[in-house]
Structure 1
């Protein structure tokens, strides 16, 4: 079974969906209880899914979550550290408060450390794997995104450090999504993106949460047994194009 943090919506929900379709049992963990419960009820048609309310920055809550997983499932085979603050815009650097800076880093980076730390015993017992969800913003930036970029860049570095420390028992990889349209399907249909948005991608379209879910599902599987310590960019080729305004 797999634990996916921040899975009430967006990329996390897409990852949970892909894992369920691949035959995994999934625990959805999210700080948003109402959205998390709704996601679990919706996805229950695909397989065994549970919801746990979790603030990944609260170590006591993380410990309780892992204890519940052990009690309910008896094992943990995969961990996906996806929880984070989705909005990358932290405003001008001179106006970025220490409190806001810490909130970005604590949720994405420290939260991933805490959940990984307390999942290790179960993952070692199962020979499991970890996938951290970083971002192409760890590699390139827009203005006023320092806190978000730092949290995701730290997550990429944490990934290869953990892979070296935890191998050969546990594999650890990161996925860096590019532009993923995380809006509900109905909203995507009623308010479609521009043709230009899709044309900026070598594959001809903006990504969907399930694109990331498919890659995560592979990385957690035995078929990826020779892959660890890597950051796999899934962005439709967007970061490989040199784009200049005309």
Structure 2
């Protein structure tokens, strides 16, 4: 499906990003893994290459403009084009708004939200040169619409991604670049077998999500055959945000 496509995945060294990068590589894409953690990033890349897939790691702090620019130019130098960008990098700082410092606020906003603008802008400069444009997918969250205590910076960053998605979809439309985002719910990236029945049963789907569920959503949103889909926020949460909760 993605044979010879060039796909950049940020935050690709672990968790959801690692699974997304792996699935694109298995589908025949040339995958560029961008992550600030060099040890993990290099190990994931080495593992994919040893399995016979096309992968290339570029150390990147997605909140820094120079790093993002270098990410794109190195990708072009190696693969000559950029077809797909998955903005997955993100951090979470659960702190009371009374205790959250401005520096910590900025750290979350810069890593989660500013990075989406920077990466999308720089990738689009090359995507618009492609005959068929390109596709951008960003990771928002169901926390953009619902909250637990002490998640202000994260919720704000993810809500910003949802708004930025439809704005970029509008601006990039003349260049045939589709822009969408995904709002994952509970996606377990640790020990799935350690989950309890109550964890699974609170979902309409009857189970907690896995990273491959998000990779499948990325495939749908970046498939050229789905060129009518742009500007959307695709919720992938097993139905949890649609479940009414009553206290007895």
The residue number in structure 1 matching 2:44 is 39
1:42 CA drift (Å): 2.1
| TM-score, L = length of structure 2 | 0.93
- In structure 2, what is the Cα distance between the partners aligned to 1:195 and 1:43? 34
The residue number in structure 2 matching 1:106 is 110
RMSD of equivalent CA atoms: 1.2
- In structure 2, what is the Cα distance between the partners aligned to 1:133 and 1:123? 20
Query: What's the CA shift string for 1:57-94, capped at 9, x where partnerless?
Result: 11111111111000000000000111110x351x2111
Alpha-carbon spacing, 1:136–1:88, altered in 2? closer, same or farther (3 Å): farther
Aligned runs of 1:165-176 on 2, under 5 Å?
165-168=171-174, 169-176=176-183
Count, aligned residues: 239
Aligned to 1:29, what secondary structure does the other structure show? Answer: strand
The residue number in structure 2 matching 1:152 is 158
The residue number in structure 1 matching 2:3 is none
1:243 CA drift (Å): 2.3
Query: What's the CA shift string for 1:190-235, capped at 9, x where partnerless?
Result: xx10100000111111111110001101211112210000000000
- In structure 2, what is the Cα distance between the partners aligned to 1:88 and 1:131? 23
1:106 CA drift (Å): 0.3
1:41 CA drift (Å): 1.7
Are the counterparts in 2 of residues 62 and 115 from structure 1 also a CA contact under 8 Å?
Answer: yes
Alignment gaps of 5+ in structure 1: none
- In structure 2, what is the Cα distance between the partners aligned to 1:49 and 1:170? 23
1:43 CA drift (Å): 2.4
1:245 CA drift (Å): 4.5
Query: What's the CA shift string for 1:163-183, capped at 9, x where partnerless?
Result: 001104210000000000011
Matched, 1:15 2:17: no
Aligned to 1:94, what secondary structure does the other structure show? Answer: coil
Are the counterparts in 2 of residues 17 and 210 from structure 1 also a CA contact under 8 Å?
Answer: no
* Consecutive aligned runs of 4 or more in structure 1 exceeding 4 Å deviation: none
| TM-score, L = length of structure 1 | 0.94
Matched, 1:6 2:8: no
